[in-house]
Structure 1
Amino acid sequence: MSVLSEYYAALERLKANKPIILPKGSAINNDTVAMEAGRKRGSIKKSRHAALIEAIEQAAQATGQNVPSPAQRIEQAKTKTKAVKSDYEQLKEDYEKLLEKVNSLLLENFELKQKRI
């Protein structure tokens, strides 16, 4: 059996929700088709398997899975980046406040020990 026919067989199993290697209900995309065919993630390349990639995208759309366009992926990445930056800034601010509190407590502890001696 050729590699290409193994990929198509794996795609058909995923469309029928009867995978052999992956868990049932797995998303249909290039990586899952490759893994279901017994290959490594990322082994389906646009330069070699353009027709297969088109079939995978059609199958994903037919099963109700959204395959975002490159522009949509960029927007999603930008949104995610903004959210992560916002979370980072909040964590940084919280860290600074806690650091001030710890330093204040250390100073107070030091001063109390000095009075006791």
Structure 2
Amino acid sequence: MSEEKSSNRTPLQQAYWDAFIRLRQRGEVISYDTVAIEAGKGKGDLRKARQLEICAAIEEYQKLQENNIIPARKFQAVERISVIDQKLVQLREDYEIALNKILCLEMQVIDLQQKLEQYQPRDNIHPFKKR
């Protein structure tokens, strides 16, 4: 694999190589999509027909990862998504608890308002006049 900077590479090709090297250094799972995303491009932008040299290097590295010759961590975005999903589940549970508390308190307010109406003077009863 010729990973060094080459003068005959286009800026796009060099961006893909730099992304490939960064992913390798971090020990992440490498695929066409992860390299493209790391290079600042969209998922699916890196195609074998267009970028044969980098694709060959990616495939070679993938074989090494599949055979556990090179350990690979999960892509960091996957880890962040799972953490955010856990937070979302916790927030939903907290929301349900808070909503139940609010509903209980509203029911208590309605009950107390009804009891208060029983103790307020009615229209046909007049308070004593001062002398």
TM-score (norm 1): 0.44
User: Which has a greater percent of helix?
Assistant: 1
What TM-score, normalized by structure 2, do the two folds share?
A: 0.40
Which has more radius of gyration? 2
